[in-house]
Amino acid sequence: MLVAPAMAQPPGYHDLASVDAAVAEFTGVRAGQPGGAIMPVDRRLRLAPCYSPLVASWHGNRQDNVMVRCPDSGGWRLFVATSGNGLQDSAAPPAVTRGEAVTISVAGDGFAVTQTGEAMEAGPLGGWIRVRTSAKGVPIRARIERPGLVVVPID
């Protein structure tokens, strides 16, 4: 006999762990870490099943909330508060400026990939900014490692 984990959603509802995963993928960090969701989504929520991939985007100018939505017809939207807003402290000098050419590094267990890209925001060392790999590329979030180098963490 199989026993479902205590935190699993009842049958007929969307798995809330996938919402947490969508927010973590969008922000680049897990819930509870700087820049990520303040906490995991409340497991008491009962959302209709979503059969399409979830879509995450910033909500508001301050970029301190991520909107996760189900693109299915009649789908739902959920707003998740984040601890870091993607906008950097103006007191810290920028290590990367908007429009600057940067090296984007992605490294994992046994591999590393780098590619040139463009910073879409300015930020200090350790800050999170949006970068893209080409003029038509989809922006991704990366952490500034040093001037000219941003890192996309792989956990």
**pLDDT tens by residue, 100-119:** 999 999 877 788 899 999 99
Q: Give the span between the Cα atoms of 71 and 133, in whole angstroms.
A: 26
Q: What is the mean pLDDT of residues 9-18?
A: 84
Q: What is the mean pLDDT of residues 71-98?
A: 78
Does the global pTM surpass 0.75?
Answer: no
Q: What is the mean pLDDT of residues 33-54?
A: 90
Question: What percent of the chain is helix, strand and coil (3-state, nearest 5)?
Answer: 10, 35, 60
In the structure, how many helices (H) and strands (E) does the chain have? 1, 8
**Burial annotation 36-68 (CB, 10 A radius, 16+ → b, else e):** bbeebbeeeeebeebeeebebebbeeebbbbbb
